[in-house]
Each structure stands twice: as C-alpha cells, then as structure tokens.
Amino acid sequence: MTSTSNFKIAILGAGTVGGGVARILLEQSEALGGRAARTLELAGIVDLFPAKCAASHGIDRSLFCGDGDELTPAQAKAETDRLLADPEIDLVVETIGGSGDFIVGLTRSVLESGKHLVTANKALLAKHGQGLFKAAAENRKSIGFEAAVCGAIPIIKGIHECFTGDEIISISGIFNGTSNYIMSKMEAEGQDFATALAAAQEKGYAEADPSLDINGGDAGHKLTILLRMVFGLDLAFDDLEVAGIEAIDSDDVGFADEMHGTVKLICYGERRGDDVFAAVGPAIVKRSNLLSKIDGATNAVRLQNRYSDENVLIGQGAGSLETGSAIVSDIVFIARYGDAALRPPHRSSCKLRPLRELELPCNIVFETADMPGITGIVCTALGRQNINIDTVSHNRHMRDNALFAIATMPCTMAQVQAAVRSIQGEHPNVLLSEPRVMPILV
C-alpha cells in the first residue's frame, strides 16, 4: 500500500548512528523519495544534547525538539511523548541503545502509538524481540532491523527476499568487527591480545569497556536474531552458548597457522532435521574458507544453501553512515509498502542444540609434562574414543613442559572430554592444564 502524502519520520537519539540517519535523509531526500514513491520528511529529532549533535553532524538545529543547548531527561521525555502523540508521524527511528526497561517500554510505546519502528538495537531485539514483534503484529506495524545485524550488510532483506526460493542449511560468519580486528592484528603482526585490543581502542573500533565485543556478547545478539529468522527458532538470548576471544594467545594463533588456518570469532548455526546446532566462539578457519580472508573490522555472513550453494555477504558492520544507510533502507521500504514491508521471524518446530554436540573437526591444544611418549599417550586416548587424528603439530618445549596441538577429523566435544578424562585417570600428572578445544571450519 502506497500513498502520495509525505511520510514523516522522527529520530530518538542523534549520536553516531542517529546523526548518520538524519544526514542521509537530508542529503538524499529527492532520490529516497523516488524510491519510496512518496516524500520522506524528517519531522523531528530528540536528543539530550541537540546543539552538540547538530554541530557534529552538520544538521540544522531547528530539526531538534526543545529549546536550549541541552535537554533534561524530563524535557526529552516530554518531547518524545509529543512526537508519539502526533498522528502525522508515521515512523520512529530508535538509536538510543540499551535493552533495559526504559528502552523496552519506549519501543513498545512507539508501536502502540500506531507508528512503525526502525532500530539498530541488536541487544533489544535479541532479548525482547519476540514481545516487540507481537506488539507490532497487534498494531499492524512493521519493525525494521536491517542495521541490527552486521550494519551495512543487507543480510536481513537478503534472507527475507533473495533466498525465499531456497533452503538455508547453515549460517556462519564474522559478526563483530572489534574482535576480528584484534585477531587480525595478532596474526599479521604477532601482537599479544592486550596490545591488539589497545590498538583497536586507539582506532575507535573498541569501546573503553570492550566487554561485549571481546566476550562474544555482541556477536551473540546478532546470531540470536538470525537463528530466529533463518530457522524459526523460539529461543532466548541466554539459551545460546557464547564464548569470546579473551583467552586466545600467540600459541593458538601459531597452531592455527601451522595447519593453514586462522583464528576468528565465529557465529555458527546449522540445521540437521529438526535440530539446529549453534554457538558463538573462537574457531580455526581453514584458508580454503573465504571467512579466513576477512581481516580488520570487516564483517561477513556466509550462507550454505540447498540449491544455490555458498553465498557470502561482506561489508562494514558499524559506523555512522554505514549503519545509517541500513536504517534508511528500512525507512524507504516501510514508506513504500507499509505494514507489508517487513515480515517478523517465523516459527518452526526446530529446537536449539549446543554446537559441541555436532560432529566437527577440532583442534586440541595440550600442555603436558615434557616426557618421552607423551604424544603417543594422548593419541592413544583419542583413538579409544573413535577420534581420527588429522595432524599433530610440532612440540613447543618450555622448561619442563611441552605444548602441542592435535587436529582431529569430525567428532563431538563429548568424545574429546572422555579422552581427556581417560588421560587424567591413567596418567594423573601428565596434563598440566585443561586442554583448549576449538572447532575447525573448512
């Protein structure tokens, strides 16, 4: 359903992303109106620091609601309430961020006031998306969230529109640019984790508190959204197993290179029958896999499909104008097609299972006492669990310790854990630390 009337837009939060949205709407007004088949009008912006935001993004101060250089929280709420009560406002862009009660209540209010919602807030959708999509359906409104998963990469519309004639079997990728930048630095320049993290912060890729990036939480939010979309999983964010890169060291990077691979923080989901095996965590990606070549702060999403085989989408996962362009894309679609523009995630009978239950090749790093026959002891224990060995690395000797890695053929974590328990039981003084296990993507 289209209309010839102006389509009016309000923006809540004009920081990095919200300011980028405003800029694009103003700079590309005529072209965007042509694509939407109606004029897009930026009707108002609410931010606590309107003067600062206007100057930072080159936006006319008159587009910001309220008087003065700054607004109190009470004033910002009053201006927001006024916009939500305005029947001429068609769509609200939320770029405030967060996933607490305030932002959940605000976004629900947007939908209940009869307005479409567009957001880049992956934490909000991962934790509260099911309730918000229900509210959208009840009010016959759309939620646009292209920017919530990998920024400028059009993966949401790709799944909605481009792969509807296919069946997606698995999804994997690099969904967090900060962690990928850190791992790229560790591999290319031999930096340790702390040095690479400091470089990411200096470049502006990592926040002062980088926890969500390096502990896998940010990537987990995005994978949660895609698992719902692709496989119809009814899952909460806390259901997903998530690990980060904080414990990765130069030895892990070196062992990966020795087997012609590189360490990446990988999001993975694969459907087998009615089971979907999924997790976020570090993995060794073989050089034959295109994801191994994604360096720096770049994001990539790899789909393995039943009919069209492999498709990889690569692009920028963050940034003011990059993320802003994805938000504007949703605005254009909703302006043109209304509540038929974007479909909520479907539901299926599929169930989530931990990725560790799926048979995958893996790399196991052992720290042991440096003694004759140690490699044989470990290999024998693995063999007893029907684990086939692919390669064994060179031993790295450190005083009285030895460090070496064994790459296996596909097996489960349960098999690996059984082998480790066997070694600990039969040779209690051999393993000096818990072996580190990473899946291998070929």
pLDDT above 60: residue 1:
no
Q: Are residues 187 and 310 in the same domain?
A: yes
- Tokens matching residue 206: 């990592």
Same-domain status, 291 and 379: no
Q: Does a structural domain hold residue 364?
A: yes
147 and 316 Cβ atoms separated by less than 8 Å: no
Mean pLDDT across the stretch 256-261? 95
Residue 419 CA: distances (Å) to CA of 82, 283, 389: 64, 21, 13
86 occurs within a structural domain: yes
User: How many other CB atoms are found less than 10 A from the CB of residue 346?
Assistant: 10
Q: Are 146 and 245 part of one and the same domain?
A: no
- 52/150 same-domain check: yes
Q: What's the pLDDT score for residue 2? A: 46
* Residue 42 belongs to some domain of the structure: yes
**Domain at 416, CATH number:** 3.30.70.260
124-176 pLDDT, tens per residue? Answer: 999 999 999 999 999 999 999 999 999 999 999 999 899 999 999 999 999 99
Write down which residue in 307, 340, 373 finishes a domain: 340
97 lies in a domain?
A: yes
In a domain, 159, yes or no: no
Whether residues 335 and 309 fall in one domain:
no
Same domain, 19 and 144: yes
| Percent of the chain's residues with pLDDT above 70 | 99
Alpha carbon distance 14, 204 (integer Å): 19
Same domain, yes or no: 87 and 143: yes
- Total number of domains constituting the chain: 3
Domain with residue 42: its CATH number is: 3.40.50.720
Residue 178 belongs to some domain of the structure: yes
Residues 190 and 312 in one domain: yes
Q: Which of 271, 279, 439 is nearest to 363 (CA)?
A: 439
pLDDT tens, residue by residue, 195-237? 999 999 999 999 899 999 999 999 999 999 999 999 999 999 9
pLDDT of residue 296: 95
Distance CA 71, CA 49 (A): 6
Q: What residues are labeled active site?
A: 222
- Distance separating alpha carbons of residues 310 and 304, to the nearest angstrom: 5
Q: What CATH number corresponds to the domain at position 267?
A: 3.30.360.10
Query: Strand 275-286 to strand 436-441: parallel, antiparallel, or no bridges (unpaired)?
Result: parallel
Residues 284 and 170 in one domain: yes
Q: Do 135 and 229 fall into the same domain? A: no
For the entire predicted model, the pTM comes to: 0.95
- Residue 2 falls inside a structural domain: no
Per-residue pLDDT at 3: 53
Distance of alpha carbon 193 from alpha carbon 184, whole angstroms:
11
Q: Is residue 402 part of a domain?
A: yes
Number of other residues whose CB lies within 10 A of the CB of residue 333: 22
Whole-number average pLDDT of the chain: 95
Give Cβ neighbours of residue 431 (< 8 Å, ≥ 6 apart).
366, 367, 368, 420, 423, 424
Shared domain for 34 and 75, answered yes or no, is: yes
pLDDT at 370: 87
Residue 35's DSSP bridge partners are none
Cα separation, 325 vs 371, in Å, equals 59
Is pLDDT of 246 > 70?
yes
Q: What is the pLDDT of residues 335-349, one digit of tens each?
A: 999 877 767 778 899
Asked if residue 231 and residue 270 are part of one domain, the reply reads: yes
Q: Cα–Cα distances in Å, from 41 out to 6, 119, 137, 322?
A: 6, 18, 25, 21
In 211-286, at which residue ranges do the beta strands (DSSP E only) sit?
261-272, 275-286
Task: For residue 106, give its domain range.
Answer: 7-154+321-340
Of 83, 121, 86, the closest CA to residue 103 belongs to 121
Contact assessment for residue 20 and residue 14, using Cβ atoms and an 8 Å cutoff: no
Task: Write down the pLDDT at residue 298.
Answer: 97
